[in-house]
Amino acid sequence: MRAYLSRRYHFSASHRLHRGAYSEEQNRATYGKCNNPHGHGHNYIVEVTAGGQVDPETGMVCDMVKLDEAVRKNIVARYDHTNLNRDEGFRDLVPTTENLCIGIHKMLSPVFAAGGLGPVDLVRVRVEETENNSFEYAGD
């Protein structure tokens, strides 16, 4: 029987939505107030969903302690209280929350593939930027 576990994590970061190839007018038209030259911040909520068989011995889908360690080490420690525009992962990307969500999925995929969390799959990553905006990515 396949079951799913979703865990939520928090971090705060700032960003400016700006594309160097665009003119100032194109950037303002595309990104609006999110193109503020001084940037702006969010209290992001990241939800990671794992899926797999319930272990008959432990009764769990995956080891939550190991999942927490992996997300805190690879995601929260990297992004908390940073400017996303200065992160190497956004060197060639606009740090939209869509791109952040995809990047988080790509960073966590090898952790799941290595089997360190048990025989579970990374089902999806969801990033909540505001109470009105959230983005999900489930892989290619």
pLDDT tens column, 2-37: 999 999 999 999 999 999 999 999 999 999 999 999
Asked whether 81 and 117 are in contact (CB, 8 A), the reply is: no
Report how far residue 3's alpha carbon sits from residue 59's, in angstroms, rounded to the nearest whole number.
11
**DSSP string for 9-54:** EEEEEEE----TTS-HHHHHHHHGGGG-TT-EEEEEEEEEEEEEEP
Give the pLDDT mean for 54-72: 94
pLDDT tens column, 76-104: 999 999 999 999 999 999 999 999 999 99
Helix 97-113 to helix 64-71 angle (10° resolution) is 130
Beta carbons within 8 Å of 99's beta carbon, 6+ residues apart: 90, 93
In the chain the domains, ranked by start, together with CATH numbers, are: 2-137 (3.30.479.10)
Hey, which residues are catalytic here? 34, 81, 129
